[in-house]
Chains A and B, each alone.
Chain A
Amino acid sequence: MGRLLMIASVLLLLLVFLSLLIHLVPGDPVQIIMGPLASESFAATVRQEMGLDQPIPMQVLGFIAGALQGDLGNDFVSNRSVVEIIAGVLPHTMILAVSGLGLAMAIGLPLGVYAAVNANSMADRVIAAISITLITLPPYVAGLLLLLVFSVGLAWLPALGAGRLDEPLDYLLRLVQPATALALGWIGYLARLTRASMLEVLQANYIRTARSLGLSKRRVHYSYALRSAIIPVVAVLGVGLGHLLGGAIFIEVIFSRPGLGSLFYDSIATRNFPVIRGSCIVVATLFVVTNLLADLSYRFLDPRIRVEGAQ
């Protein structure tokens, strides 16, 4: 219950902050948004469209009321609803983020387990060096390097655009590079985290029990130890999706993909405030929701917490 209250207050505060955004800067909001070149009649339209002619408390309430009903206002350039615009591009970003995170888990977890099981070996040191290099690599550097190697240098993969979902193979080919670029940092991070978590779990008495029962090394490591070691990793994945959405801005711009990131970037460049506001709300909501999901799966993975929660 406390957690839901926290989420509600975070989202509420964010809505207030975003509706006041324009007023945080001194000067006429419409001027700031449109620049000094806007015609008087267009400025008036925008003023009315965004409710800027109303008193500020009314603007805040109006915006929050609208947002709660799923109305994030209209884009005054194209005159389409912001929700509609975002819904159009969101699937591309979700596919990108989820496949990036999936890739990161598919590679990062086994790397971490291997490093922990062979702690202090040469392989462990190599994995540690690779991990820290990947962690510190900014996502756009990862994207640019992949682009250079696989699209410019080797010309193996198409570089631009997301393709269409009704051509799955082409879509997949175009997804490989952006998803990898997003995943690289998380591969390193997950490998590190999994290693640390595994090292702790491998000391546990129940691991010794599993070995005393004659379970194979593989089964002890990947089934028994990882089963517990993954719990703190899952807790981090919730935050991970939020971070990936930030990185997606760069990746979508570099690979010219449609998506929430490039939409946000375009709206920043054109100072399209309704869309900026809408994107922020959607990103924050996704972040909060994935965090909640991670928290729930955390409870599912550890039955001891499950019981406490029920009591």
Chain B
Amino acid sequence: MSTGGSLLEIEDLSISYLVDGIPLRGLRGVSLDLARNRILGVVGESGSGKSTLSFAITRLLPSNARIDEGSIRFEGQDLVKADMTTLETLRGDRIAMVFQDPLSSLHPCLTIGQQMSDAQRAHRRIGAGERRARSAEMLDTVGIAEAEQNLGRFPHEFSGGMRQRIMIAMSLLLQPDLLIADEPTSALDVLLQGQIIALLNGLRERLGTAVMIVSHDLGVIGEAADDVLVMYAGETMEYSPVGQIFAQPLHPYTEALLAVMPGRKARGRPLPTIPGRVPSASETSLGCAFAGRCERARSVCHANRPVYSAVGERRVRCHIYDPLSGWHVAPETGQREGAPT
């Protein structure tokens, strides 16, 4: 676990969504550290809370979301307590975001040039000419030729891969310290995925930017990230350097994820899936969130919530790695039918 030079420190963050007055689970006690010049991959199925996490950092959550507790410290400043002006100053300038679907994420009625110019104007007092020059330069950096002409085009006039490059160019205009990319490649084919990942990697090396990539695809994370955070039902399950997580996964959920990861040669066959389903956001369990689907679950797993404990430089939320949890002494109960509520 990297210490000292942390750019982003999230501690015990819990978020809920109010739907018809009833709070639904968003995040439950999420903690993470991210240092400069590192790429963190956040992986999980849909409903795991990984998008909630990425939007929470810049406080771009939907209006019915509520931060119940915890802190999000960016360079020591707690963004949970920050006011709108502070957030607007940070967004785009220090912390930038890249979104999943670049077509719907770019304004359809404004040219690329206008949107890139507005992004700079929000933070820097520079003239229109210089803004345009910088925009063109950044398009060039992300590998878009004829940058000058392309600035005058509208988003729908580009291909999907080009649009994602444009999104990335826009987010990097002001050389942010932290880049959050929410499923940056899920709308793209494999070839383009690789290009985008290479692009992010190159930029990280050149600018020293910290990057957080959020994806449901462990393959993407494996290629791009230095460290991996595995999320499940709004909780962090495992945190590991990328090499170790593939070689020796700790959490049974990570194991299951690796088992169903589509191999290159398995394409065309039906994808294997983890049996059972992610508990819905209204279900709360006393025990481990994954217990209902876990092959190694014992009674303690249904009764007590495991702590997020350190195993070397890695961290894991599982009773198996906690000698005091009682998992090792309790009799084997096998997999139980359905999760207790």
Q: Do chains A and B touch in the complex (CB under 8 A)?
A: yes
Q: When the two chains form their complex, are residues A212 and B58 in contact, meaning their CB atoms are under 8 A apart? A: yes
The reply on A151 being an interface residue by CB < 8 A is no
With contacts A303-B154, A304-B156, A307-B157 known, is A215 near B118, CB below 8 A?
Answer: yes
The reply on A205 being an interface residue by CB < 8 A is yes
Which A residue sits closest to B88, measured CB to CB?
A214
Chain A residues whose C-beta falls within 8 Å of the C-beta of B107 in the assembled complex: 206, 209-210, 224, 227-228
A301 in complex: contacting residue of B99, B106, B109, B157, CB < 8 Å: B109
B105 in complex: contacting residue of A206, A231, A301, A307, CB < 8 Å: A206
Which B residue sits closest to A308, measured CB to CB?
B156
Chain B residues whose C-beta falls within 8 Å of the C-beta of A311 in the assembled complex: none
The reply on B101 being an interface residue by CB < 8 A is yes
Which residues of A pack against B, CB within 8 Å?
A: 204-206, 208-217, 219, 223-224, 227-228, 231, 301-304, 307
Which B residue sits closest to A207, measured CB to CB?
B107
B91 in complex: contacting residue of A205, A213, A219, A301, CB < 8 Å: A213
Which A residue sits closest to B173, measured CB to CB?
A213
Chain B contacts with A in 85-110, Cβ cutoff 8 A: 88-93, 96-97, 99, 101, 104-110
Least CB distance from A215 to B in Å reads 5
The reply on B266 being an interface residue by CB < 8 A is no
Q: How far is the CA of A212 from the CA of B105 in the complex (A)?
A: 11
28 sample A-B contacts, Cβ–Cβ < 8 Å, listed by A number: A204-B104, A206-B104, A208-B60, A208-B99, A209-B97, A209-B106, A209-B107, A210-B118, A211-B91, A212-B60, A212-B91, A212-B171, A213-B119, A213-B122, A213-B171, A214-B88, A214-B90, A214-B91, A214-B93, A214-B123, A215-B92, A219-B118, A219-B122, A224-B110, A227-B107, A227-B109, A228-B109, A231-B109
Q: How far is the CA of A205 from the CA of B122 in the complex (A)?
A: 19
A303 in complex: contacting residue of B88, B101, B156, CB < 8 Å: B156
The reply on B245 being an interface residue by CB < 8 A is no
The reply on B22 being an interface residue by CB < 8 A is no
Which B residue sits closest to A203, measured CB to CB?
B62
Which B residue sits closest to A301, measured CB to CB?
B109
Q: B93, B105, B107, B157: which has the most chain A beta carbons within 10 Å?
A: B107
6 A-B pairs with least C-beta separation: A214-B92, A213-B92, A214-B91, A205-B104, A212-B97, A213-B119
Chain A residues whose C-beta falls within 8 Å of the C-beta of B330 in the assembled complex: none
Q: When the two chains form their complex, are residues B156 and A307 in contact, meaning their CB atoms are under 8 A apart? A: yes
Q: When the two chains form their complex, are residues A303 and B109 in contact, meaning their CB atoms are under 8 A apart? A: yes
The reply on B191 being an interface residue by CB < 8 A is no
Q: When the two chains form their complex, are residues B109 and A209 in contact, meaning their CB atoms are under 8 A apart? A: no
Q: How far is the CA of A302 from the CA of B157 in the complex (A)?
A: 13
Q: How far is the CA of A39 from the CA of B269 in the complex (A)?
A: 96
Least CB distance from B337 to A in Å reads 40
Chain A residues whose C-beta falls within 8 Å of the C-beta of B108 in the assembled complex: 206, 228, 302-304
Which A residue sits closest to B119, measured CB to CB?
A213
Interface residues on B, range: 20 to 34
Which B residue sits closest to A208, measured CB to CB?
B60
A304 in complex: contacting residue of B90, B99, B118, B154, CB < 8 Å: B154
Q: Mark B104-143, 1 if CB is under 8 A from A, else 0.
A: 1111111000000011001100000000000000000000
With contacts A205-B101, A219-B122, A302-B109 known, is A212 near B96, CB below 8 A?
Answer: yes
Which residues of B pack against A, CB within 8 Å?
A: 58, 60, 84, 88-93, 96-97, 99, 101, 104-110, 118-119, 122-123, 154, 156-157, 167, 170-171
Q: A213, A228, A304: which has the most chain B beta carbons within 10 Å?
A: A213
- Besides A209-B97, A212-B96, A213-B171, 11 other A-B contacts (C-beta < 8 A): A205-B105, A206-B106, A208-B105, A209-B107, A210-B107, A212-B58, A212-B60, A212-B91, A213-B91, A215-B92, A301-B109
Least CB distance from B105 to A in Å reads 4
Q: How far is the CA of A205 from the CA of B88 in the complex (A)?
A: 18
Q: How far is the CA of A212 from the CA of B99 in the complex (A)?
A: 10
Least CB distance from A172 to B in Å reads 35
Chain A residues whose C-beta falls within 8 Å of the C-beta of B119 in the assembled complex: 213-215
Chain A residues whose C-beta falls within 8 Å of the C-beta of B90 in the assembled complex: 214
Chain A residues whose C-beta falls within 8 Å of the C-beta of B99 in the assembled complex: 205, 208-209, 212
Chain B residues whose C-beta falls within 8 Å of the C-beta of A210 in the assembled complex: 107, 118
Chain B residues whose C-beta falls within 8 Å of the C-beta of A206 in the assembled complex: 104-108
Which B residue sits closest to A230, measured CB to CB?
B109
Q: When the two chains form their complex, are residues A213 and B118 in contact, meaning their CB atoms are under 8 A apart? A: yes
Q: How far is the CA of A114 from the CA of B217 in the complex (A)?
A: 41
Q: When the two chains form their complex, are residues B88 and A216 in contact, meaning their CB atoms are under 8 A apart? A: yes
Chain B residues whose C-beta falls within 8 Å of the C-beta of A211 in the assembled complex: 60, 91
Chain B residues whose C-beta falls within 8 Å of the C-beta of A216 in the assembled complex: 88, 122
